[in-house]
Structure 1
Amino acid sequence: MSEKNFSDEERAAMKAKLDESKKSRSRAKKSPEEVRAEGAAEIAAKIAEMPDDDRMLGERLSAMVTENAPHLVPRTYYGMPAWANEAGKVVCFYKPKSKFKVRYSTFEFDQAAHLDDGNVWPTAYAVTAVTDTDLTFLAERVRLAAG
């Protein structure tokens, strides 16, 4: 597929993923505490770069995940704030609307999330704002997903 088929935002996400793969290899030599601290700093930096509305959502969602699933390891995923399990598999991530210039941000769960419930279950939630009730709902999903 030609590079012309991807938007600037998609190319930037692919470059971020390549950088993350390189960091992942170097983190294999670090202690879990160092990996967690490095990941938390990366997430904080990514959130700080966001426009105000995305940043406010990112800060609240990050705090919610950290509080409700402290065993998940913070990291980035295609340049977005994410949290992974002990095997390094992303469980959930925050996709700010500014990243792909879309109408709303999303909080999503990836393949490693333990959300399976029957034949159909949600893996992504559109987020335009978060109330305490919304955070409580998402926190329950995070706890379930993180196993």
Structure 2
Amino acid sequence: MGKTESGTYEGFSAEERAAMKDHAKEQKTAARRSSRADKAAEAEQDVLAKIAEMKDTDRVLAERVHAVVTASAPTLAPKLWYGMPAYALDGKIVCFFQSAEKFKARYATLGFSDQANLDEGTMWPAGFALTEVTPEVEERIGALVKRAVS
């Protein structure tokens, strides 16, 4: 959330406001869909369409992440979450992709929610910077996603 140099609260950034609007739209769209199968199929189409809209690097990263997540953990259901591709188990987000461009960041991010079973002692990573998805990165993502749903 934005703060001024003096440390006072400035409100949500334009990117944060846009993400909240995306989330509200996603909730309305999901509520209008009829059957559970229709919802799942249409939600995946929404994710694929959102990925297709992304600019070059983000699109390539998101395509690879989507392929690895869906292959590694078929129990996860793709859906949009705050305008970004996400993957849910029983309706709860387990992991998500954030494009660098949308949030004006230096790198894209693969994040995991508190629903992910990644606990390791008293501290563990829940977000990973992505600049390239190599075969080694695909293997690591696959292992993390499998562990997250175990």
1:87-132 CA deviation, whole Å, 9 max, x = no partner? x110000001011111010000012111111101110000000100
Aligned with residue 35 of structure 2, among 11, 30, 33: 30
From the CA coordinates, give the structure whose radius of gyration is larger. 2
Q: What is the CA–CA distance in structure 1 between the aligned matches of 2:46 and 2:28, rounded to whole Å?
A: 14
For structure 1, the 5+ residue unaligned runs are none
Q: What is the CA–CA distance in structure 2 between the aligned matches of 1:108 and 1:47, rounded to whole Å?
A: 16
1:9 maps to: 15
2:78 maps to: 74
Structure 2 counterpart of 1:25, one-letter code: A
Structure 2 counterpart of 1:133, one-letter code: E
Query: RMSD of the alignment, in Å?
Result: 1.5
Superposed counterparts of 1:1-147, under 5 Å: 5-27=11-33, 29-31=34-36, 33-86=37-90, 88-147=91-150
- Shift in Å, 1:30: 1.4
- List 4+ stretches of structure 1 deviating above 3 A: none
Identity %: 45
Q: Under a length normalisation based on structure 1, what TM-score does the superposition of the two structures give?
A: 0.91
Structure 1 counterpart of 2:149, one-letter code: A
Q: How many residues align?
A: 142
- Shift in Å, 1:8: 1.7
Between Structure 1 and Structure 2, the one with more helix by share is 1
Q: Secondary structure at the match of 1:111?
A: coil
